[in-house]
């Protein structure tokens, strides 16, 4: 695994993975950080997510999951297949195989 701060990349699966705390409302920050890792850019250069995703609604849906029920949301974003779970996990798999870290 290669790590870029809090975003990990699994070279075997081509998946980027990070975690977020629902109580702190940091889903947006964690998602932007993960997209920036995929795009190998600074998070401030990521195109605003509010143009394509209603983050408030997404957070409310994830928070509605109870202790007996988990929720998984899948969406396309920034050229990636994105999975966000109510357990606080974000996974991104670029749809373009050239968009990922390379090991040196």
Whole-number Cα distances in Å, 62 to 6, 22, 25, 36, 55: 21, 8, 11, 22, 10
CA angle 100, 24, 44 (to 5 degrees): 40
Average confidence (pLDDT) over 41-65: 83
* CATH entry 3.40.50 includes domain 2-94: no
Average confidence (pLDDT) over 29-58: 86
**What are the residues whose beta carbons fall under 8 Å from the beta carbon of 48, sequence distance 6 or more?**
none
Average confidence (pLDDT) over 82-96: 90
Give me the pLDDT at residue 66, please. Answer: 65
| Domain range summary for the chain, segments of one domain joined by + | 2-94
Does residue 51 register a pLDDT over 50?
yes
pTM of the full predicted structure?
0.79
């Amino acid at each position: 695994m290669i790590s870029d701060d809090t975003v990990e990349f699994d070279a075997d699966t081509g998946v980027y993975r990070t975690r977020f705390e629902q109580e702190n409302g940091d889903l947006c920050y964690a998602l932007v950080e993960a997209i920036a890792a995929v795009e190998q850019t600074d998070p401030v250069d990521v195109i605003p997510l509010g143009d394509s995703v209603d983050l408030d609604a997404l957070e409310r849906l994830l928070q509605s999951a109870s202790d007996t029920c988990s929720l998984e949301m899948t969406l396309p974003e920034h050229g990636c297949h994105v999975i966000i779970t109510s357990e606080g996990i974000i996974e991104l798999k670029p749809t373009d195989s050239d968009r990922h870290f390379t090991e040196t």
